[in-house]
Amino acid sequence: MSSRKSGGSWETIKTVLYAMLIAGVVRTVAFEPFNIPSGSMIPTLLIGDYLFVSKYAYGYSRHSTPFSLGPSGERVLEKSPERGDVIVFKKPPEDKIDYIKRVVGLPGDRIQVVGGVLHINGEPVRRDRIEDFVELTREGNIMRAPQYVETLPGGRKHRIIEYAGDNGIADNTMEYVVPPGHYFMMGDNRDNSADSRFLDEVGYVPAENLVGRAEVIFFSGDGSAALWEPWKWPWAIRYGRLFDGID
């Protein structure tokens, strides 16, 4: 009897270990879930969004492995991001904190913001004014911001917002020249984003720091229901955002 029990316990342990191994492999080579804790990518991503990031999109580096324990060096099976991709990366220089922003500058590009308008290689990027972005915050306040559709070179379109109009602290910048092997990242919430415009805080992002490309929102909650309040969950889910692709 005790022999059968110990055998059954060992089988259970092996099953759990196999499941953990498979989950670790999937997380490393295929998809990894991330959640959005801040508003720097509003309106594209909202606080409370949960999304899948494709780890294979740009190849693999040490940051592709759990806790960045992989070997340092060049990326394996490297692929270059496209302008406009929304990317999770390790924030330089400490390379420990996950950030998510949009790629606007590729290696060799000249990037500048003038009067709130993004300029790439000396040319202003087209932006078209649309209706204000309006959202009810978790505190019950109504949030309203000027909203635009920005069209990057190559035709990629996405929405941005400008809380401070064109007079934010980073709406008039120096001209940045993106170094080889690096990328220039900006948040879609242009007046509330710590990104590559702030060289001492983020700066240019090395290719090695790229974790993966944001692909799809698999869950979204507005924060009105806590984990211990399951009776509120059905009303806290943003059903219209479920399984939305990320542009």
- Residue 90 appears among annotated catalytic residues: no
Task: Give dist(CA 172, CA 147) in Å, integer.
Answer: 18
Among candidate residues 91, 101, 196, 220, the one labeled active-site is 101
Q: Which residues does 172 contact at the CB level (< 8 Å), separation at least 6? A: 113, 114, 115
Helix (H, G, I), strand (E, B) or coil at 27: helix
- Cβ neighbours around 50 below 10 Å, total: 15
Task: Give dist(CA 98, CA 91) in Å, integer.
Answer: 6
Q: Torsions phi, psi of 152, nearest 5?
A: -80, 160
Q: Which residues does 145 contact at the CB level (< 8 Å), separation at least 6? A: 132, 133, 161, 162, 163
- Residue 2 appears among annotated catalytic residues: no
- Give the up-direction half-sphere exposure of residue 36: CA atoms within 13 A in the CB hemisphere: 30
Q: Which residues are catalytic?
A: 40, 101
